[in-house]
């Protein structure tokens, strides 16, 4: 089982240091530290374990170090920045592991860009050695790239000519959309095994600056100083510790403080049982800092994040996720009000951004997702985002027979209007009402009001509102149908339907790149007996099926 929980004391592959307003993340991959023992992580190549540590470090820089305004990403190894994803690891991995690995690395790199765009933490890649494939994609995720000009260091995306696959973590998209590299130059660059160095790399916008070894540190320092000067990170603030996340696995149940996931292997479902807050929120930012990781929105974000990643990688046969929640909607609304009112505080901002990233992780997960809204539910505000993210939602009209709880209701809060954009740049309500944008504004008039099942269905907030007589059959049939369909077809269908409206860099990566890479990873040109991945480094030439499909 792969565990996504870690901490700096346990890192094997990264050195994290903080000096006032500047942090340094130095890649120093332990060759013998792979998740499997059938490959070595040479030349700072990486596997999922390396990226798990990177993700943890990025999170800690956001929450534990509010004073940090600039992050320098570099290598602790001489003349090797990063060789990208380890080829032996990819060649020996199952198809689902390769796809999940690429998705997680994409999300981690998007998290770097989110920190730069939303949190005032500028990432600067100090490329001090060879930078290939996923290594260059890591640099591309940074705001700025400074490369050493030593006659040999180059950047490259050699996946097409060497491996018969695509750059798997957004390299093509970032060349075109982020760095605005001209199409013809990008075409040449992506078929050139040895890459591009020096002045041409700058002229083609592949890097921002090159500097000789004697002036390299000064060039990086100048960019760091400029980043610090423009940041709004609070220099004197104290961070909160991301304490170890408590999780207990009891058979087919995964238990956290506010979340329990129960797996039904026969039905191939995972029931997410989310517990709402049991007390009112602190009245001010100082009270939130005092609670730290126990503040309910942050605690839930961490638990959902871990559960999603755990199920993605370790429970690939569980194809349908069912979201339930229970608790007091008034208390959820009160926490949302605090998040909204104190949004300018650095910690509250980070909590909202974290929830945004977790909800995005739901959106891009290749599982069928249903929300079941029943008496006792608290799908209010931030928790309502999970129902809006679902492929379908079922809301019981009225009570269950013999149940004395009041009928289920939904409640909108200010957090449903722009706080948690999807990868297409739209809020989930905006994405839901693409045909009628005025409906979103009309729903603002319903802030704080309880909306029952019949009205929720009329407003388009839920898919179906069966009564007690039909509830069990409708839900059961939906779940059984999902288990009977092809998982591959469902993954393609869901990804195609979830992101209507505009395209963004992120939506292209998840709705376009992921689909292509998923397919390419199954093709014999890449993974067959004579394919490029198995034969890489063997001296044998790959044999390709020459038909264009």
Q: Which domains does the chain have, with CATH numbers?
A: 8-230 (3.90.226.10), 248-497 (3.90.226.10)
Query: What percent of the chain lies above the pLDDT cut of 70?
Result: 100
**Over residues 227-247, mean pLDDT:** 97
Strand blocks (E) in 41-121? 45-46, 70-75, 79-82, 84-85
More confident residue, 240 or 511: 240
Q: Is 320 in contact with 482 (CB distance < 8 Å)?
A: yes
Please say if the pLDDT value at position 373 is more than 80: yes
Residue 425 CB partners (closer than 8 Å, separation 6+): 501, 502, 504, 507
Please name the residue that has the structure tokens 């609304």: 333
| pLDDT tier for residue 516 given thresholds of 50, 70 and 90 | confident
Q: Is 134 in contact with 105 (CB distance < 8 Å)?
A: yes
**CA–CA separation, 403 vs 399, rounded Å?**
6
φ and ψ of 285, to 5 deg: -65, -35
**Over residues 243-266, mean pLDDT:** 98
pLDDT of residue 128: 98
> pLDDT tens, 122-142?
999 999 999 999 999 999 999
The string of DSSP codes covering 321-369 is: EEEEEES-HHHHHHHHHHHHHTTTSHHHHHHHHHHHHHHHHHHT-SSEE
pLDDT of residue 258: 98
pLDDT of residue 512: 80
Q: Is 40 in contact with 93 (CB distance < 8 Å)?
A: no
Residue 156 CB partners (closer than 8 Å, separation 6+): 131, 132, 133, 136, 189, 192, 193, 194, 195, 196
| pLDDT tier for residue 515 given thresholds of 50, 70 and 90 | confident
pLDDT of residue 75: 98
CA angle centred on 186, ends 185 and 192, rounded to 5°: 90
pLDDT of residue 387: 98
337: left (phi over 0), alpha (psi -120 to 50) or beta: alpha
pLDDT of residue 517: 82
Residue 348 CB partners (closer than 8 Å, separation 6+): 285, 288, 338, 339, 342
**CA–CA separation, 301 vs 293, rounded Å?**
10
Mean pLDDT of the chain: 96
Strand blocks (E) in 128-219? 129-132, 144-148, 155-156, 209-211
pLDDT of residue 511: 80
**CA–CA separation, 427 vs 424, rounded Å?**
9
> pLDDT tens, 97-114?
999 999 999 999 999 999
pLDDT of residue 519: 85
| pLDDT tier for residue 518 given thresholds of 50, 70 and 90 | confident
Q: Which of 288, 239, 297 is nearest to 63 (CA)?
A: 239
């Amino acid at each position: 089982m792969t565990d996504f929980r870690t901490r700096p004391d346990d890192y094997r592959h990264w050195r994290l240091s903080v000096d006032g307003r500047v942090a340094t993340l130095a890649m120093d991959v332990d060759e013998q530290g792979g998740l499997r023992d059938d490959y070595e992580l040479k030349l700072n190549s990486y596997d999922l374990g390396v990226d798990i540590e990177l993700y943890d470090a990025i999170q800690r820089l956001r929450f534990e170090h509010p004073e940090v305004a600039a992050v320098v990403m570099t290598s602790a190894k001489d003349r090797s920045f990063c060789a990208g994803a380890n080829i032996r690891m990819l060649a020996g991995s199952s198809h689902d592991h390769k796809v999940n690995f690429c998705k997680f690395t994409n999300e981690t790199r998007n998290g770097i860009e989110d920190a730069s765009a939303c949190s005032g933490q500028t990432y600067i890649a100090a490329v001090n050695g060879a930078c290939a494939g996923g290594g260059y994609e890591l640099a591309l995720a940074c705001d700025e790239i400074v490369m050493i000009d030593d006659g040999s260091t180059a950047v490259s995306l050699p996946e097409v000519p060497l491996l018969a696959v695509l750059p798997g973590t957004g390299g093509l998209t970032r060349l075109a959309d982020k760095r605005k590299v001209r199409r013809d130059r990008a075409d040449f660059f992506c078929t050139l095994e040895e890459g591009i160095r020096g002045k041409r790399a700058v002229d083609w916008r592949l890097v921002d600056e090159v500097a000789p070894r004697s002036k390299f540190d000064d060039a990086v320092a100048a960019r760091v100083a400029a980043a610090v000067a423009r940041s709004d990170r609070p220099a004197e603030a104290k961070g909160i510790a991301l304490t170890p996340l408590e999780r207990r696995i009891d058979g087919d149940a995964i238990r956290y403080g506010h979340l329990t996931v129960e797996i039904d292997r026969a039905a191939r479902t995972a029931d997410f049982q989310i517990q709402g807050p049991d007390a009112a929120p602190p009245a001010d930012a100082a009270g939130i800092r005092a609670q730290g990781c126990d503040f309910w929105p942050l605690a839930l974000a961490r638990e959902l994040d871990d559960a999603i990643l755990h199920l993605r990688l370790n429970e690939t046969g569980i194809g349908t996720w069912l979201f339930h929640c229970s608790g007091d909607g008034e208390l959820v609304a009160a926490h949302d009000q605090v998040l909204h009112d104190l949004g300018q505080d650095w910690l509250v901002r980070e909590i909202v951004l974290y929830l945004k990233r977790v909800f995005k992780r739901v959106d891009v997960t290749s599982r069928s997702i249903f929300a079941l809204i029943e008496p006792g539910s608290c799908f209010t505000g931030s928790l309502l985002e999970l129902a809006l993210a679902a492929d379908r939602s079922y809301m019981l009209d009225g009570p269950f027979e013999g149940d004395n709880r009041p009928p289920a209701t939904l409640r909108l809060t200010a957090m449903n209007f722009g706080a948690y954009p999807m990868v297409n740049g739209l809020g989930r309500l905006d994405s839901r009402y693409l045909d009628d944008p005025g409906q979103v504004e009309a729903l603002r008039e319903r802030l704080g009001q309880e909306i029952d099942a019949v009205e929720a269905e009329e407003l388009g907030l839920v898919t179906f509102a069966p009564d007690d007589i039909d509830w069990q059959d409708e839900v059961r049939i939906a779940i059984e149908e999902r288990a009977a369909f092809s998982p591959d077809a469902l993954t393609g269908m869901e990804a195609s339907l979830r992101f209507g409206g505009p395209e963004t860099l992120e939506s292209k990566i998840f709705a376009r790149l992921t689909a292509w890479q998923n397919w390419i990873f199954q093709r014999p040109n890449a993974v067959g007996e004579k394919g490029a991945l198995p034969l890489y480094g063997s001296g044998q030439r790959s044999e390709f099926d020459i038909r264009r499909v």
